[in-house]
């Protein structure tokens, strides 16, 4: 319970005890001090009760968060033991090129066991492995560019005059103001060229995050490195 609610309730009870009840029951001869004293102790009871409720709710929230973390850690531990999935393994958005994986699936990818491991962690968990020796190269293609997006400023002169009459000059100017925003467009794709099921395949992933991951964990298969070593 919020503290302002306690204060509000305390105020109502205090006012009622000190003013309304004595008038209703003709108890003015008892004295206002008695009723204010009673109101004070009732306020203390409200405060203790409120603190208890607040602590209980906070404790329940902490227990729920701990239970959620324990469940997540249990799932991660199970995936680690069953599939070898690292605890903090990154996921990447797959686009196309690997026939066994659904387009636009979220795929956990890591390098290990002399393979590039791909795991789809959904209702039906599936793991695929591409041996490092079967990877010809990987690269990143496409650009990340910025475009100026313009909004507003399309009101005619006549429309501006009418708007000034209806809204006032300042409001009309604001309504007719040109707003420009810089929009970032990432068209980059990570491409892995590998032999999959006996076929030379090009596997596409969205963005450059996978490229950066592979550059750290599998640098020898980056396209320019492969070209230099031929």
* CA 53/CA 56 separation, integer angstroms: 5
Together in a domain, 192 and 161 = no
Domain boundary among 50, 77, 104: 77
**Could you read off the pLDDT of 20-73 as tens digits, one per residue?**
555 555 555 555 555 556 666 666 776 777 777 777 888 888 888 887 777 777
The DSSP H or E segment spanning 79 is helix 32-83
Under a CB-based contact definition with an 8 Å cutoff, are residues 120 and 105 in contact? yes
Residues 198 and 139 in one domain: yes
Do 106 and 212 share a structural domain? yes
Give the global pTM: 0.60
Q: Are residues 9 and 56 in the same domain?
A: yes
| Confidence check: pLDDT of 1 > 50 | no
CATH code for the domain in which residue 119 is found: 2.30.29.30
Closest CA to 89 of 81, 80, 98: 80
- Spell 73-91 as b/e; 16+ CB within 10 A means b: eeebeebeeeebbeeebee
Same domain, 217 and 126: yes
The domain tally of the chain equals 3
Do 59 and 14 share a structural domain?
Answer: yes
Last residue of a domain, one of 77, 106, 129: 77
Query: Looking at the structure, do residues 195 and 173 belong to the same domain, yes or no?
Result: no
Q: What is the pLDDT of residues 136-149, one digit of tens each?
A: 999 999 998 888 87
Residues 192 and 110 in one domain: yes
Q: Which domain holds residue 92?
A: 84-143+187-228
């Amino acid at each position: 319970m919020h503290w302002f609610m306690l204060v509000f309730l305390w105020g109502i009870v205090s006012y009622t005890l000190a003013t309304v009840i004595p008038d209703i029951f003709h108890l003015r001869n008892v004295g206002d001090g008695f009723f204010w004293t009673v109101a004070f102790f009732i306020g203390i009871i409200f405060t203790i009760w409120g603190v208890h409720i607040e602590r209980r709710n906070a404790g329940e929230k902490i227990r729920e968060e701990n239970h959620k973390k324990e469940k997540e850690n249990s799932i991660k531990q199970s995936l680690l033991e069953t599939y070898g999935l690292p605890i903090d393994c990154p996921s990447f958005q797959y686009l196309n090129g690997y026939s066994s994986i659904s387009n636009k699936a979220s795929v956990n990818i890591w390098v290990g066991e002399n393979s590039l491991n791909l795991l789809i962690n959904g209702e039906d968990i599936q793991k695929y492995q591409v041996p490092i020796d079967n990877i010809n190269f990987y690269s990143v293609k496409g650009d990340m560019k910025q475009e100026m997006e313009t909004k507003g400023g399309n009101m005619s002169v006549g429309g501006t005059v009418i708007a000034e009459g209806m809204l006032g000059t300042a409001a009309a100017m604001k309504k007719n103001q040109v707003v420009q925003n810089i929009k970032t467009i990432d068209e980059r794709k990570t491409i892995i060229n590998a032999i999959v099921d006996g076929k030379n395949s090009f596997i596409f992933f969205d963005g450059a995050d996978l490229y950066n991951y592979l550059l750290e964990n599998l640098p020898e298969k980056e396209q320019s490195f492969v070209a230099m070593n031929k």
